[in-house]
Structure formats: C-alpha cells, structure tokens
Chains A and B, each alone.
Chain A
Amino acid sequence: MIKNPAIRFDNVSRHFGEIKAVHQVDLEIGDGEFFSMLGPSGSGKTTCLRMIAGFDRPSEGKIFLYDQDVSSLPPYERPVNTVFQDYALFPHMTIEDNIAYGLMIKGMPKIKRMKRVDEMLNLVRLPGFGYRKPSQLSGGQRQRVALARALINQPKVLLLDEPLGALDLKLRQQMQVELKNIQREVGITFIFVTHDQEEAITMSDRIAVFSEGKIEQVGSPSDIYERPATEFVAGFVGTSNLVSGEIAKRATGSAKTFSIRPEKIHLGFDGDTPAVGMAALDGTVREVVYLGLYTRYLVEIEGGVDLVVIEQNLKTTSMDVLSAKGQKVKLSWHPDHISHLGS
C-alpha cells in the first residue's frame, strides 16, 4: 500500500468487444514518482494511460486521482496532461500559442500567460523559439514544446505516451536525462509509457511490466531486472536464460524453473575450476559472436538446453574468443543471481 497514491486503479478493465485490452488491473502510483508502464505493443499500457487521461473509459472498475474517482470525468475536467507520441502540436499556431493553449482556454490574460510561456521555454531550453511554427522545428524540439505545453498547466500527473519513440538514439538518450531532470525540478508525478526496457530502467523509480492486458510485475528497475517474477518479465526485460527440469535440478538441486542473466554466468575454460559456493554446469561452446565491447557465446549444456553467455572483452581479443568455438567449458554463477519464476 502506498500512502496517498497519485493514481489508483481499482480492478480496472477495458474491453473492446471480444478484445480484453486491459483486464482486472490493480495498481497504485505514488505521489511524485517517475513511473513507467513497460510492455510490447498491444499489452494494454497505452490503454491504461488513455484511461487516466480520460480518452478512454474503463468498462469495469474505477480510477482514482488523489482519492477522487475520475473514472467518468471528461479529459478537460481532469487535472492531468499528456505528452503525445506524435506530439500533437497544433500546426496552425505558433510555438508560443501552442504552449499557452491551456492557459488561454482557462482565460488567463495574454500578458500573464506570455510570461509563463517564456519560463516554460527556458525550462525546456528553447528560449526565443516562441514565434516559430511547429513545422519549423526538429523532432527533438517539438518533443520539448509538447512537454512545455503540458507542464505549463501544472498538472497533478503528467502522462507521457512513448514520447521518445520517434527520436534517433542519441537524441533519445539525451532526452531521457533531460526528462528525468525536469521531473526532479517540477516534482510532478510522471507516468511514462514505453516499449523500450532500457529506457524504462534508466529513468524510472518504479516499473509495471504489462502483457496481454495484465500487469506481470511491479517493482523498481533493479527488482524487475534482477528478480523477474515471471517468464515473460525475464524474457522481455533484457535477455534471460530459462532453465528447468532435469538440468535445473543438476544446477540447484530443485527442478523449479529459474532464470539467469547472460552476464552473470562465468565461462570457465579447461582447468578453470569454479569458486567455492558457485553453482555449475558443463557445456560445449556452439556459437561465438564477437561484438567488440563484449562477446556473446551460445553454450550447449549436456542434456539439451542452450544458454547465452556474455563476457566482456577485458583481456581477450577477437582471435582468442573465436577460437573458443567447440571447446568444453564449465559454466558457473553465484546462487544469488538466479531468480525462481512463478507461472
């Protein structure tokens, strides 16, 4: 239980005919949190965001915003604002008028709102851009205008729908840091929808992983990464090796399915004995992919399963690693680094 949650989903479902876009979701998002909804497309994360904004209404259940039931309020009566995936800037208005739109609707006098617009333009580092039209701006700049247009209304919660999806990698990484800084500065609850697990891990205080209309796991980035609760989370967030049955028993003494991250596995070549207390399995290197910074190995364990192992190329060169193909190896890892999975 979170004290005074900004957003609370109480058994919320959204069905489109036969399709269960969101099914019986319970969720609490804390005040001031940077919260990410992570999942593949069609997992229900965007529908959840749209229900908070008011563009969609729950088929069942209730949504609370600071203990007020907002489930049936229209978007224009909710103290939340959205940054859209396609930015949705009004093409016929200047940047200034775009940002001031919410204040103009509220009836704030022009002089007052232009002062606020200047403050916002400074916050998103676009001073002097007020007189341009959206079409004269680059993707990253439009993104920041969309952010300013939402934040100027001082919403209780800011919703961001894959806002970085259309940017190239470098700009995206830069915006990730910037968004995080702005969130700290304004102190508003941010709810961030993304399908990019790296983005979610970098920016969030907490993450909810969605799959097929349900939440698989809610937790901090390290929880999600190091202790995936389900097979889906283990597979969707980063790469994971799933081990079950006979081989699991050989490694841990129990047949229960567990997951282990590729970088947590130590690759021991002949004569290299694993340290005391490490779990171990014997295998043969089947594939070697040299990737510069690190090397990815595919190791076949006796008894059938293939495990992915990643080793940094700290002391090795491409010549060394490529010659590993076909060699017998001993895989070992610290027992704390595995995660037992639920269904």
Chain B
Amino acid sequence: MLNRISTYFYRRPRLVLAIFLAPPILYMLVVYLGSLFSLLINSFYSIDDFTGIIVREFTLRTYAQIFNPANREIFLRTASMAAIVTVVDAMLAFPLAYYIAKFASRRLKTWLLIGVTIPLWSSYLVRVYAWKLILAKEGILSWFIDLFHLTGVLDWLLSFPAIGGSSLSLSPIGMFIVFVYIWLPYMIIPIQTALERVPASLLEASSDLGAKPFQTFRNVILPLAFPGVVAGSIFTFSLTLGDFIVPLTLGNSKFFVGQAVFSYQGTGGNIPLAAAMTMGPVLIMVAYLLIARKLGAFDAL
C-alpha cells in the first residue's frame, strides 16, 4: 500500500511540488500581499471630517493630505533619521565585520557572532525601555558623562532645538543612539557575509601588485563588500523608517511616520490616512530595493 502511494507520487512530480508549495503561496498571496493590497485600497478612501465615518469612494484627497506641511515634515524627519542611522551603523559595523571575517580565529569568530546576535534574542521592547533608563536624566549615561566632567558638552548638544531636548531620553539624539544600537546587528551580518566571500588571495594579489593596505581597502575590499553594505542598509533604513516604538518611548513630541500611522489608525480612527502614510515608506523602499538590486546587494544576502 505504502509502496503504491510512493509510486503514485513518484510518477507525478508536479503534484508533489504543488502540495509542498500551496501553503506558502497561499500565505504569501492572502495574508502578505492581501493585507498590502487592502492597505492600498484603503489609502484611496477618505474620512468624512464631520462624522468621522470612512467614505468608501475612490479619491486622492487622502494622498493630498500627506503633502501638507506637517506631514511633509514627518516624512523628512523620519527619512533623515533613517539615513543617518544607516550611515553610522555602516561605519560602526564595517571594522567589526572585517575583523570577524578576515582576522578572528574560528573559535573567536563563533563567539563574536554570538555576541553580535545575542541582543536579538531578547525582546526589542525590553531593550528600548532599558535604554530609556540608561538615557534618563538621572541615568547611568549621564552619571558616566559627569564622571568625565563633560556634562557641559552634553547640555550644549541638547540645547540645539532640532536634535536636543530636556534630557537624552527625551531628545532625537537619544533616539538616534537607540536606533543605531538596535539595528547594528542587521548591518554587521550582511557585511561580514560579503567580506567572507572575498578570497584571501585577492588581498594578497593587490598587495603583491604594489598596493599599500589602504589602497587595497579602497580598490578591492570596499567595492567587493559594498553589496553587503547595501544589503545591511536595506534593513537599517527600512526598519528605522517604519519603527514606532522608539519614537513613542523616547524622543520628544514630534512625530515619526510609524508613530503617525499608529496614532491615525488607533486613537484617530483615520484608517485611510494611516494607509496612505504607510504607502510612503513602502514606495521609498521599493525604489531603494530596485537600486540595491542594480548594485548587486541581493547576492550578499
């Protein structure tokens, strides 16, 4: 009997394929793309200002609202934060990734990779709240800064209106620190993977042909690791772009995109505007991914 079932399937490889692929494809289509599609549809509805009821008729009015000055500023603020976090993460991640990929012994490499990924094992919420305490006015970081008599410098930094606030935990600087910390592993791993694939003989060849270490870095290592940097930046950029926990927990009262979406669809009850605002980051990321693909970033994932 079992034999006959096996034979039946053996003769119909396409049926086997269909059975295996059906669940993930259904999931992708219904849950994943379906929700995105419903988001898209909702973004073309609008809300009746007077009654607060959603008008299910096609309109571009909601999209027009995105371009009002307040919302434009939210987009600009979020995208700048995402960009700066990405650049700083890349600069922090590269040396470590390079060390892990090219110098660390096998043993040390394992431990370093565990070290890099260990924060991902604990809840992201817990870590954000932990940082809230670290960055608080009476927190350990302020104490540490005071130890070096640098409180004046900190206060000076916090006095800038665009990035400052009453304490680190209530300022964009604090948000920036937490974003950089939280997404750093997502930058290290792809860069390390890309560097891992650069054969040692290429570096030797460069040196053999007369290139000093920084010339080898500039001409060989960096171009070959670049797809990894782009891959990592996809994570750091998109994760910052959509995040609402960090701006909600830390920072000042100025909205980020994720936070705005969160409040529009929740307390505001304005699902169409929330949907339209979500389409912004989605479109930015689609453009970003297309460029990244051109740069060969997906070969490094």
Contacts and interface: CB of A to CB of B under 8 A. Distances in A.
A17 to B, nearest CB: 13
Contacts of B205: 82, 84, 88-90
Contacts of A105: 209-211, 215, 219
A89 B201 CA distance: 9
B224 interface: yes
A210 B201 CA distance: 23
A76 B202 CA distance: 14
Interface residues of B, number: 17
A76 B208 contact: yes
Nearest to B220: A90
Contacts of A81: 208-209
Nearest to A161: B201
A100 to B, nearest CB: 10
A252 interface: no
A88 B202 CA distance: 5
A84 B201 contact: yes
Nearest to B296: A92
A217 B201 CA distance: 30
A75 B202 contact: no
Contacts, number: 60
Contact of B223 (A74, A84, A92): A92
Interface string B175-200: 00000000000000000000000010
Interface string B13-29: 00000000000000000
Residues of A in contact with B, size category: 20 to 34
Contacts of B146: none
B213 to A, nearest CB: 8
Interface of A: 53-55, 74-76, 80-82, 84-86, 88-92, 101-102, 105-106, 149-150, 153
Q: Which 3 A-B pairs have the closest CB atoms?
A: A88-B205, A88-B201, A102-B209
20 contacts: A53-B204, A55-B208, A75-B204, A76-B210, A76-B211, A80-B208, A81-B208, A81-B209, A82-B204, A82-B208, A86-B201, A88-B199, A88-B201, A88-B202, A88-B204, A90-B206, A90-B220, A101-B206, A101-B219, A150-B209
Interface of B: 199, 201-202, 204-212, 215, 219-220, 223-224
